[in-house]
Amino acid sequence: MEQVEVVIVGAGVIGLAIARHLACRGREVLILEAEGAIGQHVSSRNSGVIHAGIYYPRGSLQQRLCREGRDMLYDYCRTRHVDHARCGKLTVAPDAEAVAGLHELVRRGIANGVDDLHVISAAELREREPAVVGAGAMVSPSSGIVDAPGLMLSLLGEAEAEGAMLALNAPFRAARREGGRFLVEVGDEAGTRLACRWLVNAAALGAWDVARGINGLDASLIRPRHLAKGSYFSVPGRSPFKALIYPMPRVGSLGIHSVQDLGGGVRFGPDMEWVEEVDYSVDPAKAGLFADAIRAYWPDLPEGALQPDMAGIRPRIWGPGQEKREFEMQTPREHGINGLVQLFGFESPGLTACLAIAREVGAHLFEEEG
């Protein structure tokens, strides 16, 4: 039976960041990926935004990891030449009554350690973004965009340079703890079985299936999975905006916002709807709803310009009618199984925080060594 120190299930941006972090610290790492390529789901089907860390509950894991991860990610992209842009974000108040909400967002952001936020007037907004209409806006200079596929390739390349191995078309099937190690069954053509000391469940949409395959794990710790689908539409030609343009946030969503393409184009999204199955189709009939939302801040959106672009699915541990919850990192302190770390509901800001998440997972694993 083959043996390796660490098995990471999932080759999305978080799994790859963990693999790089551990490999660079001398650990022997194997990444199991069910698909035929890396990052095929949550990691590549999102806005690609680097979040400043304004909205997450103060003191929460999301808030801390987003703030730390944002700075780590900018530094990583700069030093590794991963395509990105610190383009900033404007959250637009549609009318004078909503301007007070902008100041409240600034106070919330400052409390979360985001100290570069400020509010601009309608006149300043027009000067900055002539295409945008609003009574004012909150400026977030630390927000930006990143080439997520390029980032994942860079993380994988560094991990492999340090000896990490990637197995594609290798779905996790089961694991049990025996003699201080995990015995892992892989659903590949060879029916691979291997042993590892540490096991990391970073399978995103598939994290629940992985958890159910771990013998001895308390089933009550596997939270219900809820799927939130977001669709995007694009407009031909170059973006009319310099910064990311967001409407005022609402519960559970930041609204249909603009996302600059690093090549100069623009897409809008996501809307959010609860779904039962993973389905990446985009309903063209949604174009009218998107147009109405976009024209609240970009009234000159050309008639009929919106084209279906892409859709993504977010795995959440909270569902319809439930209070929003942050993502959950389960360590031996929670589940009692030495050597196991599980990540549930790691959606936004998972891309922004991937390097900080990797460091956090490594700290939990190495904690066992004393």
Q: If you write DSSP's letter for every residue of 354-366 in order, what string do you get?
A: HHHHHHHHHHHHH
Q: What is the CA radius of gyration of the chain?
A: 21
What is the H or E stretch that residue 268 is in? strand 266-269
Between CA 137 and CA 119 the distance in angstroms is 6
Q: For the segment 13-46, what is each residue's pLDDT rounded down to a tens digit?
A: 999 999 999 999 999 999 999 999 999 999 999 9
Which residue(s) pair with 175 in the sheet?
A: 184, 214
Task: Answer yes or no: is pLDDT of 127 > 80.
Answer: yes
Between CA 67 and CA 53 the distance in angstroms is 5
370: pLDDT confidence band, cut at 50, 70 and 90?
very low
Domains and CATH numbers, the chain: 2-47+149-224+324-367 (3.50.50.60), 86-142+225-316 (3.30.9.10)
Range with the poorest average pLDDT among 53-57, 111-115, 365-369 = 365-369
User: Sign of dihedral through CA atoms 156, 161, 163, 165?
Assistant: positive
Contact 211, 342 (CB under 8 A): yes
* Mean pLDDT, rounded, for 200-213: 98
Q: Could you tell me how many helices (H) and strands (E) the chain has, helices first?
A: 9, 20
Between CA 30 and CA 298 the distance in angstroms is 47
Contact 355, 79 (CB under 8 A): no
| CB-based contacts of 283-292 (< 8 A; 24+ apart in sequence) | 283/231, 283/308, 284/308, 286/231, 286/233, 287/233, 290/233, 290/256
Between CA 197 and CA 179 the distance in angstroms is 10
194: pLDDT confidence band, cut at 50, 70 and 90?
very high
Q: For the segment 296-320, what is each residue's pLDDT rounded down to a tens digit?
A: 999 999 999 999 999 999 999 999 9
Contact 7, 199 (CB under 8 A): yes
Q: How far is CA 8 from CA 49, 309, 311, 367, in A?
A: 25, 31, 26, 18
Three-class SS state of 107: helix
Task: Tell me whether strands 49-50 and 226-235 are parallel, antiparallel or unpaired.
Answer: unpaired
Between CA 174 and CA 214 the distance in angstroms is 6
Main-chain phi, psi angles of 2, to 5 degrees: -70, 150
Amino acid at residue number 249: P
Residue 113: which of 140, 84, 85, 75 has the closest Cα? 140
Between CA 257 and CA 348 the distance in angstroms is 15
pTM over cut 0.75: yes
